[in-house]
A and B are shown apart, each in its own frame.
Chain A
Amino acid sequence: DAGVIQSPRHEVTEMGQEVTLRCKPISGHDYLFWYRQTMMRGLELLIYFNNNVPIDDSGMPEDRFSAKMPNASFSTLKIQPSEPRDSAVYFCASSPLNEQFFGPGTRLTVL
């Protein structure tokens, strides 16, 4: 298996623009997680899905953030409108039940 795939790997955008991050989990994994990593706050769980259904979105910072999982092999995290404080590395992870496997991350810079 190719592992968790994320795209793009790097994204630079201007404040106010919409940003969409994409994730393809490992085939057969029922759980998908979105994390954000910053120097100040470390690794934070934003939201996770089980069988394509959002289970816990308590970590989503505000209404500007939304996540979807239309099918078992694809998820998106959208920020609209983006702000400079959203600059971070966003990781997607998937899990068959307990052990999590991370993608390479998307480094987002909002100018």
Chain B
Amino acid sequence: GIQVEQSPPDLILQEGANSTLRCNFSDSVNNLQWFHQNPWGQLINLFYIPSGTKQNGRLSATTVATERYSLLYISSSQTTDSGVYFCAVEVTYNFNKFYFGSGTKLNVKP
């Protein structure tokens, strides 16, 4: 099956810093989503981004499907950004079946 690798696995930031999280995948995909799992365990949609670039406030994401990676940018990080960030991909040969990466655990310190 498809391999979804996220890096870095852990990240510690000082409040106000910027960061880039990466998601690499080993096969062609139809769709890609980024999620934030907050410290209470809730999975929150950040971006649905099969290709191109999207921005939402301090967060933006870019997916280059032909090169099989996606990037999530967090600017001016805040303590509320802490949690785990997951990317999930839907493969072209298995419609609607999403595979999750193992996540990047982010800790933003005040």
Interface residues of chain A, those whose CB is within 8 Å of chain B, are 31, 33, 42-43, 45, 48, 50, 55-56, 89, 91, 95, 98-102, 104-105, 107
Q: State whether A42 touches B43 (Cβ < 8 A).
A: no
Contacts of A105 in B (CB 8 A): 41-43
B85 interface residue (CB < 8 Å to A): no
Q: State whether B97 touches A98 (Cβ < 8 A).
A: no
> In the complex, what residue of chain A is closest to B103 when comparing beta carbons?
A42
Interface residues of chain B, those whose CB is within 8 Å of chain A, are 30-31, 33, 35, 41-45, 48, 50, 86, 88, 90, 94, 96-100, 102-103
Cβ-closest 5 pairs across A and B: A102-B43, A99-B48, A43-B100, A98-B31, A42-B102
Residue from A42, A48, A55, A99 in contact with B33 in the complex, judged by beta carbons closer than 8 Å: A99
Interface of B is mostly: strand
Please, how many angstroms separate the alpha-carbon atoms of A56 and B90 in the complex? 14
Contacts of B90 in A (CB 8 A): 98
Can you report 6 residue pairs joining A to B where beta carbons are below 8 Å apart? Answer: A43-B86, A45-B98, A55-B96, A89-B41, A98-B30, A102-B42
Please, how many angstroms separate the alpha-carbon atoms of A33 and B44 in the complex? 16
Please, how many angstroms separate the alpha-carbon atoms of A107 and B42 in the complex? 11
